[in-house]
Amino acid sequence: MKRGIFGGIGLIIIAVIGVLAYLSMFIVDQTQQALVLRFGQVIRPIAQPGLYYKLPLIDNVVYFDKRILDLDSPPLEVIASDQKRLVVDAWGRYKIVDPLRFYQSVGTIPVADSRLSVLLNSAVRQVLGDATFIQLVRDERADLMKRITERVDREATSLGIDVVDVRIRRADLPEANSQAIYQRMQTERQREATEIRALGEQQARRIRAEADRTATVIVAEAQQESERERGSGEARRNEIFAKAFGADPDFFAFYRSMQAYQQGLGGNSDTRLVISPDSEFFRFFNDATGLAMQPAPNVPPRADGAVAEPEPTAAAPAPDAAMDDAAVTAPDVVDGGATPATDGGNTIE
């Protein structure tokens, strides 16, 4: 009987010891940090994961999350520096870096969220109140969010909290003002585009004028060079003609007459010639030497009955005169109703 009683008491003692041992142990995992409290006073902070011991029924453990936590703030109205009313929706992320200070200042995460929302709204109003609407929506949005993050982080340090990031989810105009603001922005952009196009047209006209001036100068220089080359060629041609005339005047006269035939009797159907067959113009048609149609010089008889010798012929014309021989011997070419030229008694049309 006594053995049964002692056995039951032993089992109870073992059970109590087991329960006390269980209550004296606690585990902190890698996503947590903890504070050991004794009668409401913090006696030990724990930041590393592992198995820890405490006094059962006397000490208790408060756990805090080591991960980054989200903070959602309700939208608020902000007046920008250009007096535009904006509806701003911002949110942030933070983590608990000092669990002891966090426990002493706010105690729980819901209270911490409430305190941080107040700090966030205050920072958003101060920073965005110094910025314009254009800076917020386009030019300096990232810089403004960085400034808000730094301001909230400085004020949250006393809570044992590190503010990791603050983002502006939405920054819009009130519905009543959006259409008017967008219309004014569109008008400003159109005005800027018009100014840019006008400046481009002005530059284009200046470039075209410069190009035209350069082209005119180049063409004038080219024409001057061509006239100089043409004059040089004409001088060379005259020199060659002069040498050819000096070498063989008869052939030169024949050559010039052939040129006159080519010009006067060409394939132009509008050209008409009215000329006597025994004209000086056709002197090479019957005689290649051109002498058959020339009349004998008039020699007066001498008193003694002897035949006087003909007077010596005139000297050969100069080269320049020979060069113009075709202009003298060739008939004028008459086109249409022009006035006909005459060759002695012969009419040339």
pLDDT tier at 149, thresholds 50, 70, 90: very high
| Residues 90 and 151 placed together within one structural domain of the fold | yes
What is the model's pLDDT at position 339? 37
Distance, CA of 230 to CA of 236 (rounded, Å): 10
Residue 52 maps to a domain? yes
User: Which residue from 346, 232, 237 is spatially nearest to 282, judged by alpha carbons?
Assistant: 346
Residue 235 maps to a domain? no
Q: Are 323 and 245 in contact (CB under 8 A)?
A: yes
Tally of domains within the chain: 3
The 10s digit of each residue's pLDDT in 157-199 is 999 999 999 998 888 777 766 677 778 888 899 999 999 999 9
β-bridge pairing 161-172 and 32-38: unpaired
Distance, CA of 94 to CA of 155 (rounded, Å): 13
| Residues 253 and 288 placed together within one structural domain of the fold | yes
pLDDT tier at 313, thresholds 50, 70, 90: very low
| Residues 75 and 46 placed together within one structural domain of the fold | no
Q: Are 43 and 36 in contact (CB under 8 A)?
A: yes
Chain-centre distance for alpha carbon 104: 62
Full DSSP string of 263-274:
HHTSS-TTEE--
Average pLDDT, stretch 296-322?
43
| Residues 44 and 87 placed together within one structural domain of the fold | no
What is the model's pLDDT at position 293? 53
What are the residues whose beta carbons fall under 8 Å from the beta carbon of 130, sequence distance 6 or more?
Answer: 81
**Distance from the first to the final alpha carbon of the chain:** 172
Task: Domain of residue 58: give its range.
Answer: 19-65
| Residues 253 and 291 placed together within one structural domain of the fold | yes
Can you read off the two tokens belonging to residue 185? Answer: 């922005």
